[in-house]
Structure 1
Amino acid sequence: MRNFYEVEGKYFLNLSKYMDEWENYLGIYSKDGQEKKGAAQSLASHVQRLWSHFNQDRDKLDKHYMESAIGLQSYVSSFLLPNIERVFSTLVKDENIFAIESLFSIEKEEIIIADFGCGPLSGSVGIISLLEYIFSKNPNLVAPKKLFIYAIDRSEKIVEFGSKFIKNSTFPDTQIVIERLTSAEKITKQAHIVLCINIFNEIPEKHRLKTLNTLYSKTEEGGVVLIMEPGQELHSKALGGLRDEFIETAENCEIISPCAHKKSCPLSFKSTRKDWCWFRHAWNPPKTLSLIDKFSKVDHYELNFSYLFLQKNKVRSAEKYFARCVSDEFSIDVKGNKAQLNYFANNLVSGENAEFLEMSEHENGLNKILLCTSNGDLESAFVIADPSQKEYRRGRRIKESSELYMRAKERN
């Protein structure tokens, strides 16, 4: 799927103008397109510090990091576009896009978006990019006349900044109304789309379930909720725990993705396993972001994240699938190791080990992937490590168990 900034906007947002707004704000290229190396290096040093605080020295992260001019510029330069792309690239997948399209099965005067912890409204821009895409691809859908966005954030300054980018990029006849709120409790209209992008990890754990319940209570029947968190062990496992607590009590809530089941998450913080549920997306960062990455030593080519996509009273069934791959394909070496061969063979789901023993002697050897199945179990799958075969990528849906050569139960 192409990058969000390559979508041709026609209904709400001119994404080319949005990118121009972003470029002009950063100011690391002159009007004739020449690189301002000193400005880029200076900005990159602040980006590097902010990145370190996010990922390594969390205790040093000032919760008001975007209140200063350089803090805001650092965030906008390195985090804004990748966060937009994460939302767009996740929801544009076939398994997710039907839930968004179902919102437009009948004509609506307005679509209401609740962007919780919105910051500079990256989640909202990701959704608007998606809407531009689906309306251009599906002529049976009718675009609403108005987008109403609840921008829920305590910082008036940051919301005004993000709103300015959007308002300067809208088409002349477009109606995008942005209303800032300081709390989800203050939402008065039921939302069709609720966004929680990289925010629950910044909320004290004791408040997370209550906050999610409040947002869900403000969601329209058939509406969707997207929670997205960093793809790191702590935050991914915490999201798995929040998922379990919420699903246990929420009424009429269905998981669209990534889970193939509604049972307890086998990779939440309750698990003793070192694995965690996260995904990645490769895209083409725009030239300016690549320049900042060059000097900051941050790589944005692959975007990592964990997420949960829910629908309130699912109105159109998702395609059923057997499991989702929650690991990369990695090699195992069992040739000549009888004890290891017998261990794997005796734990096969099928109970048949002859085929596995035969596979283990294949000239290319075996690769292993980890599956989260529709039964809520973790299972290994063993496939011949054949470069000519399609990779079993992290995040891939496995539609039928017959797609895989052999499976074995995983011990928690």
Structure 2
Amino acid sequence: MRNFYEVNGNVFFNIEKYMVEWEKYIGIYDKNGTEKKGSAQSLGSHVQKLWKNFNEDRSQLDKHYMETAIGLQAYISSFLLPNIERVFSLLVRDENIFAIESLLVTEKEELVISDFGCGPLSGSVAILALVEYLLAQNSKLFAPKKICIYAIDRSEKVVELGAKFVKNSIITDNSISIERLTSPAKISKEIDIALCINVFNEIPEKHRFKTLKSIYDNTHEGALLLIMEPGQEEHAKALGALRDHFIENSENCEIISPCAHNKPCPLSQNTGRKDWCWFRHSWNPPTSLKLIDKYSKIDHHELNFSYLFLQKNKIRSAENYFARCVSDEFALDLKGNKAQFDYFTNNLSSGDKEEFIEMTQYEGGLQKILLCTQTGALESAFMIADPEQKEYRRGRRIKESDELYMRAKERI
């Protein structure tokens, strides 16, 4: 799937103009397009410090970091585009895209987006790019007459900057409106798409459910809700616990992805497992972001995240699947472990055992993955590492008809 910045928007939002606005703001090129090395190096240093505060020592993170000129510039230069790409790349996937399409199958006066903890509107920009992509791909969809964005954030400065980027990229005057609010309680229209991107990890846990419920209660039938958090253990497990509480206490709320079930999350902070549910997306960062990465020593080619995508009274389901892969593949050395070898071969006939031994001679041998199944349980699954067969990467949906060599009968 193409990167968000490659979408050719021609209805509401010109993504190419948006990228120009972004480059103009970060200021690492002169008017002739030549790199301003000193500016790029200085910005990279500030980005590196901000990244360490985000990921290594939250106690050093100033909660007003985007109120300073350099703090805001550092955030916009390095974090804005990857956050847009995370949301766009997730929602454009086969199992999710039908839900966005469901909002565009009939003529609509206005599409209403609420963006809680919006910052510079990264989530909203991803939705604008996605709508442009869908309208270009599917002639049977209807473009809404207007798009209304509720930008919910306490920082007026950062919202104003994000709104400026968007407004300077609008194709038709007055087709997109942006209203900043300080609380979800101030929303006056029913929501079509509710976004909570990288925000719940920054607010006290005791307030998360109440806040999420207040947003959900202001949505109409068929509305969508996306929560996205960093793909780190603490935040992913906390999202699993929030998911369980929310699903248990919210009417008509169904999970579109990533879960194959509505049962308690087997990887939440309420369980004793060390694994956590997270996913990754590889993309091609634009040239200017690669330059910032060079000086900040941050690699944005692979984006990690955890998420939950919901719909109120789900319109229709994506293709049914048995489970989702929630781990990377890792090899099992049966040659060096007689107990494991016996586990796999004890119930095989002599002929099947010979075939099994022959199949495991592929480089990589037998591979193991972890599945989160329709029953809400975790199961191990095993397959031969045959280079001619498809890989079962983290995040992949697994059908019961998929040719895994065998699933462990014992749940783990």
TM-score by length of 2: 0.96
Partner of 1:308: 308
Report the Cα distance in structure 2 between the residues aligned to 1:173 and 1:46, rounded to whole angstroms: 36
Specify the code of the residue in structure 1 equivalent to 2:310.
L
Unaligned 5+ segments in structure 1 are: 347-351
Partner of 1:150: 150
Instruction: Tell me the CA shift for residue 173 of structure 1.
Output: 3.9
Q: Could you tell me which of 349, 355, 359 is aligned with 2:356?
A: 359
Partner of 1:166: 166
Instruction: Tell me the CA shift for residue 343 of structure 1.
Output: 4.6
String of CA shifts for 1:147-198, please: whole Å, max 9, x gaps.
0000000111111111000000111345111111100111111100000000
- The question of whether the paired residues in 1 share the 8 Å contact of 2:4 and 2:84 is answered with yes
Specify the code of the residue in structure 2 equivalent to 1:25.
Y
Partner of 2:35: 35
Partner of 1:298: 298
Instruction: Tell me the CA shift for residue 411 of structure 1.
Output: 5.3
- The question of whether the paired residues in 2 share the 8 Å contact of 1:323 and 1:397 is answered with yes
- The question of whether the paired residues in 1 share the 8 Å contact of 2:96 and 2:256 is answered with yes
Specify the code of the residue in structure 2 equivalent to 1:150.
Y
Count of matched residue pairs:
407
Q: Establish whether residue 24 from structure 1 lines up as the match of residue 21 from structure 2.
A: no
TM-score by length of 1: 0.96
- The question of whether the paired residues in 2 share the 8 Å contact of 1:252 and 1:312 is answered with yes
String of CA shifts for 1:194-247, please: whole Å, max 9, x gaps.
000000000100000111111110111100000000000000011011000100
- The question of whether the paired residues in 1 share the 8 Å contact of 2:12 and 2:132 is answered with yes
Partner of 1:59: 59
Equivalence map 1:203-218=2 (5 Å): 203-218=203-218
More deviation in 383-392 or 223-232?
Answer: 383-392
Report the Cα distance in structure 1 between the residues aligned to 2:9 and 2:174, rounded to whole angstroms: 11
Unaligned 5+ segments in structure 2 are: none
Partner of 2:138: 138
Instruction: Tell me the CA shift for residue 249 of structure 1.
Output: 1.2
String of CA shifts for 1:348-404, please: whole Å, max 9, x gaps.
xxxx55668953552122011111111111111111112222211111111225431
Report the Cα distance in structure 2 between the residues aligned to 1:264 and 1:66, rounded to whole angstroms: 37
Specify the code of the residue in structure 1 equivalent to 2:29.
Y
Equivalence map 1:325-364=2 (5 Å): 325-343=325-343, 359=356, 362-364=360-362
Report the Cα distance in structure 1 between the residues aligned to 2:284 and 2:373, rounded to whole angstroms: 32
Specify the code of the residue in structure 2 equivalent to 1:72.
L
- Shift >4 Å, 4+ stretches: 343-346, 352-358, 409-412
String of CA shifts for 1:257-299, please: whole Å, max 9, x gaps.
0000001111111222221110000000001100010111100
Report the Cα distance in structure 1 between the residues aligned to 2:378 and 2:198, rounded to whole angstroms: 26
Instruction: Tell me the CA shift for residue 329 of structure 1.
Output: 1.2
Equivalence map 1:10-409=2 (5 Å): 10-173=10-173, 175-343=175-343, 359=356, 362-364=360-362, 365-409=365-409
More deviation in 122-131 or 356-365?
Answer: 356-365
Specify the code of the residue in structure 1 equivalent to 2:356.
M
- The question of whether the paired residues in 1 share the 8 Å contact of 2:322 and 2:400 is answered with yes
Structure 1 pair 147–363 and aligned structure 2 pair: CA distance change class (3 A): same
